[in-house]
Amino acid sequence: MPMDRIKENHRNYLKRIKCYKKFGYDALKERAVIYEKSWPVSGRMLEVGTGKGYFTIQLAKNGHRFISIDISEEEQNYARMNIGYLGLENLVEFKIENAECLSFGKNDFDIVFSINTMHHFLRPEKSLDEMIKVLAVGGKIVLSDFTPEGFKLIEKIHESEGRKHVFAADKLDKAVIYLKKEVLKLKNIEQNIRK
C-alpha cells in the first residue's frame, strides 16, 4: 500500500479521535481502561470486530501478537493501515470473517475481545456461541459496549458527519443474560469515559 495513503489514513484516524473528544468521548482512554480492566492479558488472543482498529492498536502497542477478525474488509483496511503506520504489522494477523461462523477450532484462544461491537451483531447469541467455542478452558471473553449515554453521543457524532449509526443498544445486556445461562463466571465493570 502506498505510504501517502497510509499517512492520509492515519491523519483521518487522528482527526476522528479529535472529533470524538469534541463531543466528550475519549476513545483512546476508553480502550486503555478496557485493556487495564482485562488483566491479566496473555496467551493466544482473538479480537472479534476489528472495526477501525482502536482496540487493535491498544493491544498491538502493548506488544501482543493476536488475530483480529471483521466482516468488513473496508473497516479492517482502515485498521490495517494504522497498524502499518505505527510499524506494528508483525503483531496482528487480520482476517475477514463473520463472528457467527468462526473458522477457528475449539479451545484455540485464551482470551477473546469484542469491544464496542455487540450492538452491530445481527444474532449476538450465535456470535457468543462462536466465541465460547474457540475459547480455551479457563480462558476469558472480554465484552464491552457503549452505555445508553455513550450511544446517544455516538449518534450525535455520526449525525454531525451526515451518517446514521445503526445499532440495538440492549444487546450487551442480553449477552450478559445469555452468558449467565451458559454458566460462565461474569465480572461486570461499568466505566464512564469522558474527556
pLDDT of residue 162: 81
Q: Domain 3-181: what homologous superfamily?
A: Vaccinia Virus protein VP39 (3.40.50.150)
CA contacts within 13 A on the Cβ side of 79 = 29
pLDDT of residue 156: 85
Q: Which residues of the chain have pLDDT under 50?
A: 189, 193-195
Query: What pTM was estimated for this model as a whole?
Result: 0.89
pLDDT of residue 184: 58
DSSP string, 131-178: HHHHEEEEEEEEEE---HHHHHHHHHHHHHTT------TTHHHHHHHH
- Show the cell assigned to 154: 455516538
Tens digits of residue pLDDT in 97-133? 999 999 999 999 999 999 999 888 888 899 999 999 9
Cβ atoms 141, 130 nearer than 8 A: no
Q: What amino acid is encoded at 104 in this protein?
A: F
- Show the cell assigned to 150: 455513550
